[in-house]
Amino acid sequence: MSLPDDTRRTRTVTLPSGKTVVVHYVDEQLGARTQVADPEHQLEVCGACGSHLVHPVEWEPVGSAHWQILLRCPQCEWEGTGVFEQAAVERFDEALERATDHLVTDLRTLERANMAEFADRFIACLQADLILPEDF
């Protein structure tokens, strides 16, 4: 969404999570002309296929209490843009944080399994005298 410079103000905000975002405030009258989505809508759920993998692609503040967000579902390739209230966006952010935590946990489990397998193969090679000092 492109807006004239005279309708915007910019401020850098550091969130409690440590993330830094640049907030662009726009003329409140713009928000009055924009249809706002249902505040109870779960942004992480795809309206097309029901997947819980929807993620933001682009986001921009609209006024002081709403965000315009381009959402994408990797399951069915759906994309859509909506304007959402701050409370809905905060719930979405919490859902994204939980999903990130799950991904990090899965990654660490996979890393440990890969390292354990590597160590087992390395030990087997040492025991079979397949690794010599000149290999290093």
Does the pLDDT at position 93 exceed 90?
Answer: yes
> Is 126 within the bounds of a domain?
yes
**Where residue 3 falls among pLDDT bands split at 50, 70, 90?**
very low
> Is 96 within the bounds of a domain?
yes
> Is 63 within the bounds of a domain?
yes
> Is 18 within the bounds of a domain?
no
How many independent structural domains does the chain possess? 1
Q: Is the pTM of this model over 0.95?
A: no
> Is 4 within the bounds of a domain?
no
> Is 117 within the bounds of a domain?
yes
Q: Which domain holds residue 126?
A: 36-130
Q: For residues 36 and 90, give the distance between their C-alpha atoms in angstroms, rounded to a whole number.
A: 15
> Is 104 within the bounds of a domain?
yes
What's residue 22's pLDDT? 61
Q: For residues 12 and 14, give the distance between their C-alpha atoms in angstroms, rounded to a whole number.
A: 7
What's residue 33's pLDDT? 41
Helices (H), 3-85: 28-32
Backbone angles phi, psi at 75, to 5 degrees: -70, -50
* CB-based contact 25:64 (threshold 8 Å): yes
> Is 106 within the bounds of a domain?
yes
CA atoms within 13 A on the CB side of 11: 9
Using one digit for the tens of pLDDT, what is the confidence trace for 19-56? Answer: 666 655 554 444 444 445 565 678 999 989 999 999 99
What's residue 4's pLDDT? 46
